[in-house]
Amino acid sequence: MSLTHAELLKLKRWNTPTIYNGWEAITKHDITQGFNLEETRDYMPHMGPMVGYAVTVQFEPSNPNHPKQSPQAWSEYRAYVASVPGPKIVVVQDLDKPRVIGAFWGEVNSNIHRALGCVGTITDGAIRDTDEMCNAGFKALARRTCVGHAYSTPVRWGIEVEVFGCKVKPGQLIHADKHGFLVIPQEDEARLLEASVYMDGNECSTVIPAARGAAGKSYEELLAGIDAAGRQFGVNMKQKFGSTGEW
């Protein structure tokens, strides 16, 4: 972990688009990558955002050979999860995709992982027992729900996985909410919170009040004010980060 638990809690106070805005301002990486390229569904939006470091696993619930060939897989996988500092987000790649045969997650597995310091999951497969997962305080972004678990067994873990068109490595910082998820490169972690807070403040002091202060103005005055606010937004960005940003 590069950030303290207190810093992670502060990041959790902002939605994922705001964190993206901050990351965009400081990163040297491609800003069209590092997040889900496919639709996700947040089954616990009332829990708000989740923030944590990735632990990764692949499973293939359609294959009955996995439990037979690796009877200790669950125990060995749980030992891996326990060995990593929290808070953690479990990123699960379903090797049966696009089919949905069984769920990695349900009431029991969610409670076990919560006890191991995990705050939630991102899976391109399915979940079940959604009410019980909520009761466990375990957040889930998933593709859909299903009824059974089939031959749900960890196949490989602690490796790079790909979910929703985004590659995730173990130990990467993730911010996720009802909009999707963002995977932060390690070199961008230290400045992420400051940049995100700054970007929100920059919007609130320039373009947003220009748009909301429309009462009594003609369209010409309103448009001129928005243009001026956009320019000021860019000036602020240039002074802070050396780039003009989206406005």
The pLDDT tens digits of the residues spanning 134-192 come to 999 999 999 999 999 999 999 999 999 999 999 999 999 999 999 999 999 999 999 99
> What percentage of the chain carries pLDDT values higher than 90?
93
Q: Give the pLDDT mean for 219-234.
A: 93
Statement: residue 243 has pLDDT above 90: no
CATH number at 12 reads 3.50.30.40
- Same domain assignment for residues 107 and 159: yes
32 with 106, same domain: the answer is yes
Are residues 33 and 197 in contact, defined by beta-carbon separation less than 8 angstroms? no
Contact 151, 68 (CB under 8 A): no
Indicate whether 180 and 197 sit together in one domain: no
Co-location of 181 and 196 in the same domain = no
CA distance 30 to 185: 11
Whole-angstrom distance, CA of residue 202 vs CA of residue 237: 8
Average pLDDT of the residues in 234-241: 91
75 and 197 share one domain: no
Residue 10 has pLDDT above 70, yes or no: yes
Number of domains composing the chain: 2
* Across 202-208, average pLDDT: 94
The pLDDT confidence band at residue 86, using thresholds 50, 70 and 90, is confident
* pLDDT for residue 199 is more than 70: yes
- Among the listed ranges 14-18, 178-182, 239-243, which one has the minimum average pLDDT value? 239-243
Burial (CB count within 10 angstroms: exposed 0-12, middle 13-18, buried 19+), residue 10? middle
149, 225, 221, 172: which is closest to 51 by C-alpha? 172
CA angle (186 as vertex; 165, 183 as ends), nearest 5: 25
In this structure, the answer to whether residues 181 and 223 fall within a common structural domain is no
Say what the pLDDT of residue 2 is: 80
Residue where a domain stops, chosen among 166, 185, 204 = 185
Q: Which pLDDT score, from 0 to 100, does residue 247 have?
A: 66
Q: How confident is the model at residue 234 (pLDDT cuts 50, 70, 90)?
A: very high
Residue 106 lies in a domain: yes
Q: Does residue 164 sit in the same domain as residue 66?
A: yes
Q: 10 Å Cβ neighbour count for 38?
A: 11
Q: Is residue 247 part of a domain?
A: no
Are residues 205 and 178 both part of a single domain?
Answer: no
Residue 130 has pLDDT above 80, yes or no: yes
Average pLDDT, rounded, for the chain: 95
Rg (CA), the chain: 21
Question: For 20-41, how does the pLDDT look when each residue is reduced to its tens digit (9 = 90+)?
Answer: 999 999 999 999 999 999 999 9
Same domain membership, residue 134 and residue 199 = no
Query: Could you tell me the residue range of the domain that residue 58 belongs to?
Result: 5-185
Instruction: Examine the domain organization and report whether 176 and 58 are in the same domain.
Output: yes
Mark whether 132 and 96 lie in a shared domain: yes
Global pTM?
A: 0.93
